[in-house]
Amino acid sequence: MNQMKKINKQQLLIFLPLLVLGMIFMASDHIDSPSTIGNTADLADLYAYESPNNPDNTVFVANLQSTLPPGSNDRTFDEQVLVEFNIDNNNDLIEDLVIQAIPKDGYMYFFGPYKPLSTGVTGVISKENATFIEKVKISTDTTTVTATKDEISYFAGRREDPFYFDVSQYIAVFTGQSQEPGGGFKPPNHEYIPRELNVLSVIVEVPNKYLGDTFDHPIGNGAKVINTWLSTKRRQ
């Protein structure tokens, strides 16, 4: 049983419908203070969406250590950092279930979803309580490895950063210097210059039946939802 303490990093909270098709939710954090640069526990993105291959599954994606340059083979997962997907089933903003991932000797070990022994700022990995336990070899730039067990699929490795934000155009719009019609943003079909940066990704695809109860979406649209957020916790 390993106890870990969460670093001072903002958690990312979204509502995730389990019954609404074709919806993707994300939270992102790519601009940090200098104190977090190079921090191996730094969060970049949380993506949670319906599996494109199975509408009864949900995919959770955690991206860490954003803005890694191409060829940054010296940057890898920190064995002292636990990645935790938190799931709230009743809208009290306290995790009812967690999916935990931690690297060791070239593998990413996954635990859950299961009811956590500790909530909030501390985390405990419990092999005794975790119903689902599996590991996957961490992928390299040339070899992609996935694992599937008990209908749950796993991946961990470095991948191209999917996040893009046109900072220059944003500044142009809000300073009145945009050359686009009406002083607005560039059209959706505009060809953007890729950033060519990488992130470290931890991905797990889980059948919805393992994610616990749902509650009515607060806006009253009839959707059944869970809350989910991402946190990292460093070994103490």
What is the number of other CB atoms lying within 10 angstroms of the CB of residue 126? Answer: 17
pLDDT recorded at residue 40? 83
pLDDT for the residue numbered 74: 59
For residue 75, the model assigns a pLDDT of 66
Per-residue pLDDT at 99 = 97
Below-70 pLDDT ranges, the chain: 1-38, 67-69, 71-75, 192-195
**DSSP per residue over 77-134, as a string?**
--TTEEEEEEEESSSSSS-SEEEEEEEETTEEEEEEEE--SS-TTEEEE-TTT-S-EE
The SS3 call for residue 7 is coil
Q: Where are the domains of the chain?
A: 2-161+197-235, 167-196
Token couple for 166: 């046109």
pLDDT, position 94? 95
Q: In angstroms, rounded to a whole number, what is the distance separating the alpha carbons of residues 103 and 137? A: 9
Give the model confidence (pLDDT) of 221-231 as tens digits.
Answer: 888 999 999 99
42/234 Cα distance (integer angstroms): 11
